[in-house]
Chain A
Amino acid sequence: MTFTRRCMSLLLGTALLATALVPAADAQTVVGVTATEIKVGNTNPYSGPASAYGTIGKVIGAYFKKVNEEGGINGRKINYITYDDGYSPPKTVEMVRKLVEQDQVAVLFQTLGTPPNSAIHKYMNQQKVPHLFVATGATKWNDPKNFPWTMGYQPNYQTEGRIYAGDVLKNHPNAKVGILYQNDDYGKDYLKGFEDGLGEAGKKLIVMKQSYEVTDPTIDSQIVNLKNSGATVFFNITIPKFAVQAIKKAHDIGWKPVHYLNNVSSSLGTVLKPAGFEASKGLITALYMKEVTDPQWRNDKGFQEWVAFMKKYYPEGALDQQENAYGYNVAILMTHVLKQAGNDLSRENIMRQAANLKNVELPMLLPGIKVNTSPTDFAPIEQEQLARFNGEKWDLYGEIFDAFRRQ
């Protein structure tokens, strides 16, 4: 074969390849919806540094499987498409574009992580695709005026930080406060809420702040420093892996401050038990969900339903992992929204329904805490309650804080 012929065949081959990449034309009138199915898209970190959260994507898939087996939503099955983004924003952008432009999903739901969601925030609103119930506690998802297609879900971190600050000002106004925080958006958000809540008094109260990276092997050194600062109140903003270390080390070196533990690490099974129930006595946290290893919910109807669901549809999922209850709750909420949309499953209507939730109860939320949204309120859950660990379970006390009412 001469050179020219080789060139031509190469050109031809490439041209053929290029045409093969042209997507088929879509004949649907409502994107992502047919008479028999609704396409729901999602990205989750199934690999990489945040892979522990990947179980949320899986438990959601398991719940949708249950819904489909029980007949679907108004006769339509949910086609749940989820991709791995490894918690890397460029990958999230690529996978979300694939979901929206190639897979043509009706909605995107529970995309996980603040940086990944920040990367697709503008895009989702430009494309006018519902970007619902994002799995992050950052505050910026409640902005219906500028981002009418994006909605948050869980109580945001700043609100929780403020709740603790309020408690400190009320019950320990002369304390010395030490803080340990993870050096990223999650940690800094909690920190901001706490510092804002303390206000002017904070400058005198806070005696030391220590940070750590997710890649650090231990935080023992930071705990030692905090004890030595003379702090009598400790705000612990760590993920479960490091919360165990913090609680254990504090106990080991004989440091017994008033210890506020962030909600993210409030699990009995994965944090308090490994750290030691004795060492964990007196811990204070703010809860909005029933904690799955807390014995007080053993006979609760919602809890039992969840266990039955896990055993049947997600047997490989851990029954002591709070994320599995979290995912269950939010999958139920999404199903509720789609049901509420009835036969009009256009993106506009799905968004309208999501912005119109009134006192929706979810089985794994604490009694008294309900989901509420409106066209000006894109924060579905805004209530939390303080709890103290008594050595066996979380003792809920005080009133249910409602961030919405306080605005």
Chain B
Amino acid sequence: MGSRAPRVLLVLAILAVACVLPFTVSNFRLFQFTQVYIYAIAILGLNMLTGYNGQFSLGHGAFYAMGAYVSAIMMDKWNIHYAWTIPVAGVLCLIVGFLFGLPALRLEGLYLALATFSLALAVPQILKYFEHWTGGSQGLVLSKPGAPFGIKLNPDQWLYFVTLAVMALLFWLSANLLRGRVGRAIVAIRDNHIAAEAMGVNTSLYKSLVFGVSAAYTGVAGALSASAIAYVAPDSFNIFLSITLLIGAVIGGLASISGAVFGAFFIQFVPNWAQDISKAAPWAIFGIFLIVFMYVMPFGIAGAIRLLWIRTRRSRVALTPEARDTAHSQAPRTT
């Protein structure tokens, strides 16, 4: 298939634009873009679990919170440099996610969703309880990191680049993972659990591992957000966060890596637009956006793009048996 090279070029081109951005837009916009990248990492984590592996999670905000607080506590209590807190948050979330994934094996679709929902609901109360570590409801005030070695970048620009780098790395890892054997096994488990098991895939191990990796990604996003906002408090991590991440994943497009980025842009900017449109009932506008999006693009933005891509290619290519097979294998693989 000769379609890898143009895709890689497209990604590199977008990365190039992203690198130029900090020198052309205001700090405030950079702050918003940084937030978009953070959400994109979090949503990719959720997407791997729910989109590719079919395990519904309504509680990924819990891992985001965990990553944020691990990072915050390390910086606040032990004065550890923020850069080290990010991988530590990731590893801790990986372990916790994996451990959560083990009993989750017993739960099907809806019940897993509700169990994760419950987990996320309990987060604010748990955070407030361990006041000594978490600062309780007052939260922890942190410092925004500045550029090291005297590099001439302001904190917003520096953090933007750090986040962009982490995002690029994690997305690249994810792409490699999901496009290979492992990815096919993961999707196979989602599409037909029993057949996958029969074909020799160790479904239990894979499912728990995906849970762990998914939690790790979202935890890293949380850790980055602790530095970006420079403040953590239980109010920032209520159930609405988990729901927002889910919205981002579905709107962006499940089972799609680029979908995570689209979803992130949506959840960051559309509420602001809604506020601009209507001061009186902005969330009603947002709700309408959600419903209309699902009518027009039930497979999310990435799904809609994929469909469009196939249609334009199909019209140009003669429908030989080989072409038909290619078109089929590229159809949206979501439920």
Q: Which residues of A contact B17 (CB under 8 A)?
A: 11, 14-15, 18
Closest to A50 in B: B235
Which of A89, A90, A97 interacts with B28 by CB under 8 Å? A97
CB-CB under 8 A from B235, the residues of chain A are 87-89, 115
In the complex, are the beta carbons of A22 and B231 less than 8 A apart? no
Q: CB-defined interface of A35-62 with B at 8 Å, one 1/0 digit per residue?
A: 0000000000011110000000000000
A171-183 CB contact bits vs B (8 Å, 1 = yes)?
Answer: 0000000000001
Bound Cα distance from A94 to B230, whole angstroms:
12
- Cβ contact within 8 Å between A101 and B28: yes
Chain A neighbourhood of B26, CB < 8 A: 21-23, 101-102
Judge whether A115 and B137 touch: CB under 8 Å. yes
A101, A118, A183: which contacts B233 (Cβ < 8 A)?
Answer: A118
User: Interface residues of B toward A: which range?
Assistant: 35 or more
Q: A93 and B24 in contact (CB under 8 A), knowing A11-B17, A183-B125?
A: no
Does A128 interact with chain B (Cβ within 8 Å)? no
Cα distance A97–B136 when bound, in Å?
A: 25
Known: A83-B275, A118-B139. A93 touches B231 (CB 8 A): yes
Is the C-beta of B25 less than 8 angstroms from some C-beta in chain A? Answer: yes
Q: Known contacts A21-B26, A98-B28: does B137 contact A184 (CB below 8 Å)?
A: yes
Q: Known: A18-B20, A97-B31, A115-B139. Contact between A122 and B230, CB under 8 A?
A: yes
Task: Point out the residues of chain A lying under 8 angstroms from B35, CB to CB.
Answer: 90, 94
- The distance in angstroms between the C-alpha atoms of A11 and B17, with both chains bound, is 7
Distance in Å: Cβ of B20 to nearest Cβ of chain A: 7
Per the CB 8 Å criterion, the residue count for chain A at the interface is 39
A305 within 8 A of B: no
CB < 8 Å: which of A11, A15, A47, A89 contacts B282? A47
Given contacts A89-B233, A115-B139, A119-B233, contact A102 B28 (CB under 8 A): yes
B137 touches A10 (CB 8 A): no
Q: Which residues of A contact B14 (CB under 8 A)?
A: 10, 14
> CB-defined interface of A226-258 with B at 8 Å, one 1/0 digit per residue?
000000000000000000000000000000000
Question: A74-110 interface mask toward B, CB cutoff 8 Å, 1 = contact, 0 = none?
Answer: 0000000001100111100110011001100000000
- Given A97-B28, A118-B141, do A188 and B136 touch, yes or no (CB 8 Å)? yes
Q: Counting CB contacts under 8 A, is B29 at the interface?
A: yes
Interface of A is mostly: helix
- Rounded to whole angstroms, the CA-CA distance of A49 and B239 in the bound complex is 12
Q: Known interface pairs A89-B233, A118-B233, A213-B125. Does A11 touch B28 (Cβ–Cβ under 8 Å)?
A: no
A-B Cβ contacts below 8 A, count: 105
Residue of A nearest to B18 (CB): A14
Q: Does B334 contact A (CB under 8 A)?
A: no
A322 within 8 A of B: no
Interface window among B5-13, B197-205, B256-264: B5-13
CB pair A90 B229 closer than 8 Å: yes
Q: Compute how far the CA of A14 lies from the CA of B235 in the bound complex, rounded to whole angstroms.
A: 35
B141 touches A11 (CB 8 A): no
* Inter-chain contact A22/B24, CB cutoff 8 Å: yes
Least CB distance, B283 to chain A, in whole angstroms = 5
Q: Counting chain B CB atoms within 10 Å of each CB, which of A15, A97, A102 scores highest?
A: A97
Given the interface pairs A10-B13, A97-B31, A188-B136, the reply to whether A115 lies near B275 with Cβ below 8 Å is no
Known: A22-B25, A22-B26, A94-B35. A115 touches B233 (CB 8 A): yes
Q: Bound state CA distance, A18 and B9, in angstroms?
A: 20
- Quick check: is A3 within 8 A (CB to CB) of the other chain? yes
CB under 8 Å from chain A, chain B span 300-335? none
Is B137 within 8 A of A11, CB to CB?
no
For B20, give the chain A residue with the smallest CB separation.
A18
Assess whether A84 is in contact with B231, with CB atoms less than 8 Å apart: no
Query: Does B138 interact with chain A (Cβ within 8 Å)?
Result: yes
Chain A nearest CB, measured from B287 CB (Å): 12
Between-chain CB contacts (< 8 Å), 20 pairs: A3-B9, A7-B6, A7-B9, A14-B17, A18-B25, A22-B26, A48-B240, A84-B282, A88-B235, A89-B233, A90-B229, A93-B229, A94-B32, A102-B28, A115-B236, A118-B233, A121-B141, A123-B230, A183-B128, A213-B124
Which 9 pairs, one residue from A and one from B, show the smallest C-beta to C-beta distance? A119-B231, A185-B137, A101-B28, A184-B137, A115-B233, A115-B235, A21-B25, A3-B6, A14-B17
* Beyond A88-B236, A89-B139, A184-B137, 4 extra complex contacts between A and B, CB < 8 Å: A22-B26, A87-B235, A90-B35, A114-B138
